[in-house]
Amino acid sequence: MDTALQLRMDVDSGIVLPRHEALQKLQQSELVHQLTNELVEKPLFYIWRIIALSEIPHAQHLDYTKNLIDRIFEKLSTPFGFSLSGDEKNFLPCYNAMVISALCRLGHANNPQVLNAVEWINNHQPVERGKTVVIPNLMFDRFGGCFKNTPCYIGLAKSVFALFDYQKETGDTNVSPKLEQGKEYLLQHHLIKRLNSDKPITQHILDISFPESYNLNIVELIRFAGNVNILNDPRTKYAVEYLQDKKGKDKAWRVNYRYKSQGYMVFDKTHKASDWTSHIINHALNSRNGF
């Protein structure tokens, strides 16, 4: 087992390690080595790499992570939040939300640029149908439309995740009303279903893969549901049973989708028992029983 995963499991079990011991595990990790052996000066590389590092406890202390965060603040930040270029014309709610979550997990929840991005979600991101969003300088329609009569489920869900990650780190209750509204919207969809049928909302929502990518998937959704203590709500039953059905005889899950983008790295190899993904799913499902 990779030492970065051992560290993740220790932290999730409530074990507090001295920083020097945690950093020693990171130095021994093959995954951390792979994540930090190059830095390509492209926005999507920054985004996928910072998301990956944010899943590894204590990664904020690595020089590589610090340098990457500096680049994100310098090159991707706008007055509205984080874009794909630092230009507000390339602002997309889903990417803004993913960057917020990563930076919050890496100890930057109170950074003014993160606060701007969270404020944008709190003030503008719709978590209901039929709400028109028109903001000068933001060109959502060029990407297929984030805010039509039915808001893009990917951007909505990831924005709700971002509010949770921000509130977890700061305790800021100003985001609570939108967070609660967002939780209810996800539950109305049984996390993964269309409102009017049992069909999945998106093509990739039932994929088993980790860490997150642009394609919202059931692993992200079940982890969020565990984090906010809604897995005992009957509307999560379908998603829970779907995942349990996908568990192998060895009590582990297998990655069945590999997202491809520069900087993105799947933590587990396809067709093998997926240690990282299995831990994330088990940790979420066990939260139903208070473990």
Q: How many CA atoms lie within 13 A of 250 on its CB side?
A: 9
How far apart (Å, rounded) are the C-alpha atoms in residues 117 and 175? 12
Note whether 157 and 93 are within 8 A (CB): no
What sign results for the dihedral spanned by CA atoms 50, 189, 246, 288? positive
pLDDT per residue over 244-264, tens digit each? Answer: 999 999 999 999 999 999 999
Mean pLDDT of the chain: 91
The confidence band for 139, taking pLDDT boundaries of 50, 70 and 90, is low
Residue 13 reports pLDDT greater than 50: yes
pLDDT per residue over 166-193, tens digit each? Answer: 999 999 999 999 999 999 999 999 999 9
pLDDT per residue over 101-118, tens digit each? Answer: 999 999 999 999 999 999
Percent pLDDT > 90 in the chain is 79
Note whether 253 and 208 are within 8 A (CB): yes
Q: What is the DSSP string of 80-141?
A: SSBBSSS-GGGB-HHHHHHHHHHHHHTT-TTSHHHHHHHHHHHHH---STT-----TT--GG
pLDDT of residue 130: 53
pLDDT of residue 291: 45
